[in-house]
A and B are shown apart, each in its own frame.
Chain A
Amino acid sequence: DSGVTQTPKHLITATGQRVTLRCSPRSGDLSVYWYQQSLDQGLQFLIHYYNGEERAKGNILERFSAQQFPDLHSELNLSSLELGDSALYFCASSVRETFYEQYFGPGTRLTVT
Chain B
Amino acid sequence: GIQVEQSPPDLILQEGANSTLRCNFSDSVNNLQWFHQNPWGQLINLFYIPSGTKQNGRLSATTVATERYSLLYISSSQTTDSGVYFCAVEPTGRRALTFGSGTRLQVQP
Contacts and interface: CB of A to CB of B under 8 A. Distances in A.
A26 interface: no
Interface in B8-63: 31, 33, 41-45, 48
Given A42-B101, A43-B102, A103 B45 contact: yes
Given A99-B31, A99-B90, A45 B99 contact: yes
Given A43-B86, A88-B41, A106-B41, A101 B48 contact: yes
A92 B35 CA distance: 12
Given A43-B102, A90-B43, A106-B41, A48 B95 contact: yes
Contact of B33 (A44, A58, A99, A103): A99
A98 interface: yes
Nearest to B31: A99
Interface of B is mostly: strand
**What class of interface size applies to chain B in its complex with A?**
10 to 19
Contacts of B97: 45, 58, 99
B78 interface: no
B48 A56 contact: no
B64 interface: no
A102 B95 contact: no
Interface of B: 31, 33, 41-45, 48, 86, 88, 90, 95-99, 101-102
